[in-house]
Amino acid sequence: MNKRAIFIFVLIIVFVIFFYLGFTWQRNNKQEEIIKNDMIFDENINEATDNKAIETVSQEEKTTPNTVLVLKKYYIDCDHTISNRATIPEEMVNLTKEELAEKYKNWEIEEFSQDEVILSRELESFCGEHYYLTEEDGHINIYTVDEAGNKTLKEENRMSCEYLPETDRITLRNGIMVYTKEELNKILEDFES
C-alpha cells in the first residue's frame, strides 16, 4: 500500500509539472504572436503613411473548394463547342480573377464568381466526339469518326433492333451522325425505351 501511495503521489507531481510547462509554453507563444502582430501592424502603418493613402480591407472575390468549374472548348475544325462541368481542382482554390488569368493564360475567363468559373478556349482541331450509329446484324454498332471521316468501331451495342419501330430501323440502317457523348447516350436511351 505504501508503494502505491508513493506511485500516486509521483503521478500527481508529474501531472502538475506538465500542466505548468504547457501553460507557460502557451502563454509565451501568445506573447510572441502579439509582438509579431504589433510589428506587422507597425510596418503596415509605416507603409500607409509613406504612400499617403490608407487602404481599407478589401473583399476580393476568390474561388473556393465549392466553386464549380466549367471548361468550354470550341473546336474550329468541326465548329463544335464541348462544355464540361467539374469540381474546381485544388490548385485553383483561393485565387482571384487576376491570379487565375495569370496562371491559365491559354484560357479566357468568361465568368468569375465564387460560385462558378467559366473558362473557354479555341482549339484548331477536331473535337473527337463524333459518332456514327448504324444497324448491323440486327444490333446497333457505334463508330467514332475522325477528322477525315474515317469510322472506327467503338463498341458493338448488344441492343437488338428487332423491337424498334420501322422508322427507327430505317434511320439506323441509313446511319445517324451524333456529335457529343451526351447526345449519343440520349439517343441510345430513346431506343431502349
Of 134 and 37, more confident: 134
Is 70 exceeded by the pLDDT of residue 134?
yes
- The pLDDT, as a whole number, for residue 83 is 87
- The pLDDT, as a whole number, for residue 29 is 61
- The pLDDT, as a whole number, for residue 67 is 92
| Every domain of the chain and the residues it spans | 1-57, 68-123, 131-192
Of 56 and 33, more confident: 33
Confidence of residue 31 (pLDDT cuts 50, 70, 90): low
Q: By three-state DSSP, how is residue 61 classified? A: coil
Q: How far, in Å, CA of 131 to CA of 64, rounded?
A: 37
**Element housing 108 (H / E):** strand 108-112
- The pLDDT, as a whole number, for residue 116 is 93
CATH architecture of 68-123: Roll (3.10)
- The pLDDT, as a whole number, for residue 162 is 84
**Element housing 183 (H / E):** helix 181-192
Q: What share of the chain is helix, strand, coil (3-state, %, to 5)?
A: 40, 30, 30
- The pLDDT, as a whole number, for residue 147 is 80
Write out pLDDT tens, residues 37-80. Answer: 454 544 444 444 444 444 444 578 999 999 999 999 998 888 88
- The pLDDT, as a whole number, for residue 181 is 85
In terms of C-beta density within 10 A (0-12 exposed, 13-18 middle, 19 or more buried), how is residue 170 classed?
exposed
Residue with cell 485553383: 92
Write out pLDDT tens, residues 164-185. Answer: 888 888 888 899 999 888 888 8
Q: What pTM, to 2 d.p., does this model score?
A: 0.54
Write out pLDDT tens, residues 87-130. Answer: 888 888 999 999 989 988 999 999 999 999 999 999 888 888 88
Of 26 and 81, more confident: 81
